[in-house]
Amino acid sequence: MGLPIPSIVEGGSYIALIGGATMALLSRLPRQTIAEQAKLIEALNGRIASLETSVKENRDALLEAVHNMGLLQGQVEVYKGLPLISMAESMKGIADSNSEILSILKSSAVTLAQTEAAKADATRDVAGALQ
């Protein structure tokens, strides 16, 4: 004969239980996946905003650096226009003439000292003769 009715009902209960559990899991997984994806999207949007800020700061820094490079290039052009070699030669000429002046002053001082010493000797001689 066939299966008794309680066993069929029991089997149906088990099948319904397994089906219900499977449906609960399947309906829960998409909700979790959607929630996780929403969190990931939020994190990515935050990262995009951070990168946009970083790009703006880097662009501003680049523009400032280009501006400063232009200023430095202008200063280099000014320095290139200075007659640095002729200035160095002029300064060497001044140093040489200062050396000559110092040498003349030294020889004049020696001559003056000798003249004054001779005058002092002559004065002592006269003073000695007068006594």
| pLDDT tens per residue, range 32-55 | 677 788 888 999 999 999 999 999
Range of the structural domain that residue 116 is part of: 83-131
Query: How many domains does one find in the chain?
Result: 2
Is 131 found in the same domain as 99? yes
| pLDDT tens per residue, range 84-122 | 777 888 888 899 998 899 899 888 888 888 888 888 888
Is 21 found in the same domain as 57? yes
Is 118 found in the same domain as 62? no
Is 118 found in the same domain as 129? yes
| pLDDT tens per residue, range 14-32 | 777 777 777 766 666 666 6
Is 101 found in the same domain as 78? no
Tokens representing 119?
A: 């005058």
> Which of 82, 100, 117 is the C-terminal boundary of a domain?
82
Tokens representing 10?
A: 């029991």
pLDDT at 59 over 50: yes
pLDDT at 65 over 90: yes
3-state secondary structure of 86: helix
The predicted model gives 60-81 an average pLDDT of 89
Is 95 found in the same domain as 48? no
Is 67 found in the same domain as 40? yes
Interatomic CA distance for residues 72 and 102, integer angstroms: 43
